[in-house]
Amino acid sequence: MKLSLSVRIAEAPCKTKLNVPFRDLVQLAAELGYGAICMRASAGGIGTPRGELEWMRGEVERAGLRVSMVTADSDVPLNNELGPDSLKNIGPSLDVAEALGCDLIRICLKNEADIEHAGRAADEAAQRGMRLAHQCHTTTLFETVDRSLEVLDRIGRSNFGLIYEPANLMLCGQPNGLETLRRFQPYLMNVYVQNHRIDPAGPVELKTWCLGVRRFHHIPIWEPGGVDFPEVIAALQQIGYEGCVTIHQAYAELMGPREAAVRTADYLRSLGGIE
């Protein structure tokens, strides 16, 4: 497995801009031995000129890295009602991925009607040799394990898959260990890691469709009391996963990007199976 560093590690809370220059983040990832950068629209997306995107690709490749995945539209990570709109016009997102030299794009489904749009978007992506993937995420069609698998089966495209993310599954009261990964394995295209500690009096809240409002603390990936990452990494090894493990944690309120990138990489590598 290869470590990928999401630009989210240096993202402002609004999720639409970075707190540090993109070049600095790329150099940090290279210095620390990451294999890839996970791009979001906060760094470069559908509103970014093609030439600037190609400059970003050059920065990544000159650093010996690659772009592991693209989230080309800010409405997707904001998970708002506009999140699925890119499925109706996937071309601009494909253009962003092409400019960045990447074949994997994160998208969003929130309503039954989005399933049909996702199928058509996947067909268009396939014509350009690209894949689409959806994160395990609250208030989407991918909140629960069973519903995620049902939607994946209904879309039924080999280039449409899943981003496994155990913290969101935990918030939704879902199993997130080996048995879940075995069920997800045929669709698995990326792995996101972030950490929460559930607490009814916690300072952060997210709405879920399956369990209502959930309150929690953002905590570092290495801190106990949230996701059991030794179990998660062991399970990924057991199913033979060889793709990216992407540091997706929103660290802005906890520590700076450098400390977060260093300590997270050290911790995950200590669990084995990750370069």
Q: Give 43-55 pLDDT, tens digit per residue.
A: 999 999 999 999 9
Domains and CATH numbers, the chain: 2-270 (3.20.20.150)
CA–centroid distance for 62 within its chain = 24
Instruction: Show Cβ contacts of residue 45 under 8 Å, excluding neighbours closer than 6 positions.
Output: 39, 70, 71, 72, 73, 74, 96
| C-alpha to C-alpha distance for 66 and 75, rounded to whole angstroms | 24
> 13 pLDDT exceeds 80?
no
Question: Which residue type occupies 79?
Answer: N
At residue 251, the pLDDT reads: 67
At residue 157, the pLDDT reads: 98
At residue 62, the pLDDT reads: 98
| C-alpha to C-alpha distance for 249 and 231, rounded to whole angstroms | 18
**pLDDT grade for 83, boundaries at 50, 70 and 90:** very high
> 174 pLDDT exceeds 90?
yes
At residue 98, the pLDDT reads: 98
Task: Please state, rounded to an integer, the average pLDDT across all residues of the chain.
Answer: 95
- Overall average pLDDT of the 204-227 stretch: 96
At residue 11, the pLDDT reads: 82
Coil/strand/helix, residue 213? strand
> 92 pLDDT exceeds 70?
yes
Q: Copy the structure tokens of residue 259.
A: 């400390």
- List the one residue out of 173, 107, 172 whose CA is nearest residue 139: 172
> 252 pLDDT exceeds 70?
no
CB 59 within 8 Å of CB 23: yes
- Overall average pLDDT of the 198-217 stretch: 96
Per-position DSSP letters for 140-208, written without gaps between them: STTSSHHHHHHHHHHH--TTEEEEE-HHHHHHTT---SHHHHHHHGGGEEEEEE--EEE-TT-SEEEEE
> 75 pLDDT exceeds 90?
yes
**Percent of the chain at pLDDT exceeding 70:** 99
CB 170 within 8 Å of CB 176: yes
At residue 46, the pLDDT reads: 97
> 68 pLDDT exceeds 70?
yes
CB 275 within 8 Å of CB 3: yes
**pLDDT grade for 238, boundaries at 50, 70 and 90:** very high
| C-alpha to C-alpha distance for 19 and 26, rounded to whole angstroms | 13
β-pair partners for 190: 163
**Percent of the chain at pLDDT exceeding 90:** 90
> 89 pLDDT exceeds 90?
yes
> 12 pLDDT exceeds 80?
no
